[in-house]
Amino acid sequence: MTLTVGIDFGTSNSGVAVSDGHTVRLLPIDAKNNIPEVVKSILYITRDGQQYIGQEAVELYYRHNVNRLRRYVQKWAGEIDYHGADMSYVRDVYVLVDELQPGRLLQYIKTALRKVGGESGYRGTQIFDRYYSVADLVQAYLQALKARAEALLGEPIGGVRLGRPVKFSESPEHDRQAEDILRQAALAAGFAQVDFEFEPVAAALFYEQTLTKPQNALIFDFGGGTLDIAILRLGDPHQRTVYANGGIGIAGSDFDRAIIQKRLLPHFGLGQVHHEPALLELIHAVPDWMALPDLSTPPNRANLEQAIARGLAPARLRTLQALIFNDLAFSFYNQVEAGKIALSSQPAAVIALQEQGMDLWELYTRAQFEKDIYEYQQQVEQVLLDTLAASGLEAGQIDAVVTTGGSSSIPAFTEMLGRTFGPQRVIASNAFSSVTAGLAIRAANG
Amino acid sequence: MEDRTQPTPKENAMLTPEKIEEWIKEVEERPASAAMILRFIANRLRELSERNEELLAENIALLTGKRVEEYERRITHLEYQLELLRRHAGGDLPSAEELAPAERPAAPSETTSLLAYDTQGRVLRLELPPQAQGRPPIHLQGEFPAEAEPPRLLAVTSSEELLFIFTSGRIATLPAASLPAAEAPDWESAPMPHAPNAGEKLACLAPLSRMGLAGFLVQTSRRGYAKKVNITLAESILANHYIGTGIRLPADVTFDLALCSKEDRLALVSWEGWLACLEVSGLPFSIEEAMRLGISDHLAAVFVIPPGQPLIAVTQIGKIIHRAAEGLDTVDLRARGQMLFSSARREQGVRVVGAACASEADWAAALHRDGSLSLHTVSELFGSGAIPTQSQVVAFAAFPAPAGGPNGS
């Protein structure tokens, strides 16, 4: 009999679990992580094609990149056709490429699946000499995950029950396209049998194990990339009913970006730099930490140096320079995320980065955070009410609201659920592992 | 009129009244948060207060002129270096005498020293006397066995900054002035300012003070490989204490690091008597073979060729080989170069122990296998054609005559 595992391939974190039909075993898939049962959904591909995931990828990225030498060369990237009323011409496009770049770090690979649809959808990326399609990137990550799981289990894995969001996309065609890519990637990663389950349904299956009598449950799965909601009748495996599913592409990474945009960009010169498009472009790129290493080019350095020499916001632009040219973007982003997480359990947090020429310090309160994500809160509440309406149930008919995913711990959302359904009905499940565990249960049940 | 094009420091402050209002609002809404917010602000205040103390001290140093004095001393050093460069460049730059009296730098109170160092990291600093000619040799306690790699010589001024390059690619810096002068030159008890780590050796010492005027660092290996590094990377190299091994062959080690400009030519002289003059602009940025060496051959000297200066090479028996400046033809990468002596003499066992480009006014130093260190003027060596030696010459260096000496400025 082939071994089938459950894999939660999340936007920020992933996990692998196996069940024998009675008990669920969450695999310590990343021994270097603070929670070994959770592995960061990060992929690092080196110049020689080696692939690393999780904490190992992060550590290697740091070891390779911080304070490293760079050598930029101009490379032909393609050509642009210009068409005017009475003329047209072709122009070559060159890009500056760092010849000494040791590797590329990729996060939010799953988000790429949400963007594959349509003519102008995201297809993939060039990494050194090889073009990686979205399927190639997902395959590389799943392959590494499978290898680790097999090493822990001591036997080969035949099949996988993969979690997927309720909606990759609002368009059914793009949604199917994203699932097909995920299936192809899993098959290419070496899984002979690939099946799917909605992530909130998986979380519900895990929760169902604690029930002694049937009840209506609302699963609020709020992670790094998406919010997924499912309303189900649970407690009797023979009469399990899904009343409604809903979701929206808002989650933890959007909140991180909101914090940076609304609170931290002034530390890098926003508000002090005006009418300088080249500098403003650099400042507005700060929320996208993966793009920052590509901005560490000699022309950008020269622009910053000249502005600093002119006395234009020198302290702020020096901070921006340190962020871009010392490869501190990932550290910075981690600090922002850590500050956000801290606000779930305390009323205030400090977002600080004081290294290599940077002295960034921002006292951030829960009230400020709630103000910054207010629009997102409104949208989440709307999706919640829409899903409830689609289920045909009243709020009072929901027996339990089960929260899972890192963002579900944010007090503003817990309070919102409490307001709608009553605080006593809101039950916090394991934030990072309940979907993984539910997928393992689903895999064992076939 | 007030300039409103730039924001004032008050406007630039990261702590805005709006933010403070938001903190107060948080405390009003959730009074339990007050203690935590207060603690965060107090910690930050303490940090800033410590930094303020440092800035106040710096401000006092600026106001009292202490910092200005420091900068003046550094400017004097730099002007002296410029004067040395002028001499190297052959007088294209205005001399100190040509400068108006008010512009003329104060005479630098610098001394020239000769450093003898070996692969174990031992460095002896010997202060040079005002006269080279006719002076009895200094005797270093201890001999240099034929099978061991002999020490190397380097002349530096007291304001020089030294770069220690180890075979592992690690580097360290040290001001030459911080090396104690060896009164009784005992090789066995020579100081080791930067001892090599386990498994590594000191590959070479390189002077750094002209770095600001150079365009490239050129790292050469014993087996004739070379790479150049843009000087813009020097800051990062020094900060990381790592330049790289500079080798491609497993048994190879770094031999030398030269500061070069784009227009310079670099001379590579081998142990078996080959000379390759290479354009720095043509050297590779990656480690590549720069000079084709025989299986038993290795580099004996690497130096920048100053325009118009002849080359002087010394064999192990003290014989001087002279090449006029116009005879130093540039060759391509990976060429073997020109012969400094005939094949017959090579087969007889004649080998080059050191070489340099020098003018007649310069000085030269030779270290002999019995431990004696002799000083000469280059004009004397050109005249006699040999360095008298009781044993063998193992190392050789030529350098500008020290300031205050008969040939010095």
Nearest CA in chain A to B241: A67
B368 found inside a domain: yes
Apex B102 CA angle, B99 and B103, nearest 5: 45
B208 and B138, same structural domain? yes
Task: Determine the structural domain holding residue B223 and report its residue range.
Answer: 114-399
Hey, are the CB atoms on A346 and B12 less than 8 Å from each other? no
pLDDT higher than 60, residue A3: yes
Question: Distance of alpha carbon B238 from its chain centroid, rounded?
Answer: 13
Of A154-168, A359-373, B185-199, B367-381, the poorest mean pLDDT is in: B185-199
Is residue B91 included in any domain, yes or no? no
Asked whether residue B175 is domain-assigned, the answer is yes
Chain B contacts of A345, Cβ < 8 Å?
A: none
Label residue B103 by pLDDT band (50, 70, 90): very low
Which of residues B24, B43, B63 is at a domain's end?
B63
Give B129 or A168, the one with higher predicted confidence: A168
Rounded to an integer, what distance in angstroms lies between the CA atom of residue B278 and that of residue B249?
21
Please say whether the beta carbons of A13 and A406 come within 8 A: yes
Give the distance between the most distant pair of CA atoms in chain A: 77
Q: What is the distance between the alpha carbons of residues A337 and A256, in angstroms, rounded to a whole number?
A: 6
- pLDDT exceeds 80 at position A5: yes
Mean pLDDT over B291-315 rounds to: 92
The more confidently predicted of residues A132 and B187 is A132
The pLDDT tens digits of the residues spanning B234-288 come to 878 888 889 999 998 888 999 999 999 988 999 999 999 999 999 999 999 989 9
CA distance B288 to chain A (A): 17
pLDDT number for residue B115: 93
| Domain final residue, candidates B27, B42, B63 | B63
Shared-domain flag, residues B138 and B279: yes
Task: Sort strands B338-339 and B274-279 into parallel, antiparallel or unpaired.
Answer: antiparallel
Q: pLDDT tens digit string along A158-215? A: 999 999 988 888 888 899 999 999 999 999 999 999 999 999 999 999 999 888 899 9
pLDDT of residue A224: 82
Does residue B52 sit in the same domain as residue B119?
no
Residue of A nearest to B42 (CA): A363
Residue B26 is nearest to which of A347, A350, A361, comparing CB atoms?
A347
Q: Give yes or no: residues B154 and B247 share one domain.
A: yes
d(CA B263, CA A9): 57
Out of A119-128, B189-198, B222-231, pick the least confident: A119-128
Asked whether the beta carbons of residue A363 and residue B12 sit closer than 8 angstroms, the reply is no
Nearest chain A CA: its distance from B36 CA (Å): 7
CA B117 to chain centroid:
14
Cα(B73)–Cα(B288) distance, rounded to whole angstroms? 41
**By a Cβ cutoff of 8 Å, what residues of chain B touch chain A?**
6-7, 11-12, 14, 19, 22-23, 25-26, 29-30, 32-33, 36-37, 40-41, 44, 233, 236-237, 239-240, 285
Q: Is A318 on the interface with B (CB under 8 A)?
A: no
Q: Looking up tokens 């025989």, which residue turns up?
A: B294
CATH of the domain at B387: 2.120.10.90
For the residues of A286-309, what is the DSSP string, one character each? TT-TTTGGGG--HHHHHHHHHHHH
Residue B101 has pLDDT above 50, yes or no: no
Instruction: Let me know whether B145 and B36 are in one domain.
Output: no
Helix A252-259 / helix A329-342 crossing angle, nearest 10 deg: 110
Q: Is residue B375 part of a domain?
A: yes
Q: How much is the mean pLDDT over chain A?
A: 89
Q: How many CB pairs under 8 A join A and B?
A: 59
* Three state DSSP letters for A422-438: CHHHEEECCCCCHHHHH
Can you tell me the distance from the alpha carbon of A202 to that of A442, in angstroms, rounded to the nearest whole number?
Answer: 7
Same domain, B154 and B27: no
Contact B324, B382 (CB under 8 A): no
| Residue B71 in domain | no
Task: Name the CA dihedral angle for A47, A52, A56, A59, rounded to a multiple of 10 degrees.
Answer: 20
Q: What is the ipTM of this complex?
A: 0.76
A128 — pLDDT class (breaks 50, 70, 90): confident
Which domains, ranges and CATH numbers included, belong to chain A? 3-196 (3.30.420.40)
Task: Please report whether residue B103 resides in a domain.
Answer: no
Q: How many residues does chain B have?
A: 409
The arithmetic mean of pLDDT across residues B71-78, rounded, is: 78
Contacts of B124 (CB under 8 A, 6+ apart): B115, B116, B117, B140, B182, B185, B187, B190, B191
pLDDT of residue A66: 65
Same domain for B182 and B46? no
Preferred mutation among A275, A326, A363, A364 to probe B, highest tally of B CBs within 10 A: A363
**pLDDT of B14 above 70:** yes
Is position B89 within any domain? no
Same domain, yes or no: B256 and B322: yes
Residue B86 lies in a domain: no
Contact B44 A363 (CB under 8 A): yes
Pair (B57, B129) in one structural domain: no
Q: Are residues B122 and B243 in the same domain?
A: yes
Residues 6+ apart with CB under 8 A from A417: A220, A384, A401, A403, A426
Q: How many residues does chain A have?
A: 446
Instruction: Quote the pLDDT of residue B12.
Output: 59
Taking CB atoms and an 8 Å cutoff, what residues of chain A touch B41? 363
Is the pLDDT reported for residue B2 higher than 60? no
The answer, yes or no, to whether residue B104 has pLDDT greater than 70, is: no
Please return the burial class of B332, using the count of CB atoms within 10 Å of its CB with bins 0-12, 13-18 and 19+: exposed
Strands, E, within A65-179: which ranges? 72-83, 88-98, 103-107, 124-127, 130-133, 157-164
Rounded to the nearest angstrom, the gap between the alpha carbon of residue A416 and the centroid of all alpha carbons in its chain is 23
Rounded distance between C-alpha atoms, residue B373 and residue B396, angstroms: 10
B74 Cα to chain A: minimum distance (Å): 22
pLDDT of residue B269: 96
Beta strands A24-26 and A13-19, pairing class: antiparallel
Number of domains in chain B: 2
Q: Which of A356, A350, A285, A361 lies closest to A325 in space, CA to CA? A: A356
Residue A290 predicted with pLDDT over 80: no
Straight-line distance from the first to the last Cα atom of chain B, in angstroms, rounded to the nearest whole number: 53
Whether residues B35 and B142 share a domain: the answer is no
**B307-353, pLDDT tens digit by residue?**
888 999 999 999 999 998 888 989 999 999 999 998 888 888 899 99
Residues B168 and B34 in one domain: no
Candidates A63, A64, A69, A327: best to mutate against B (most CBs of B within 10 A) is A69
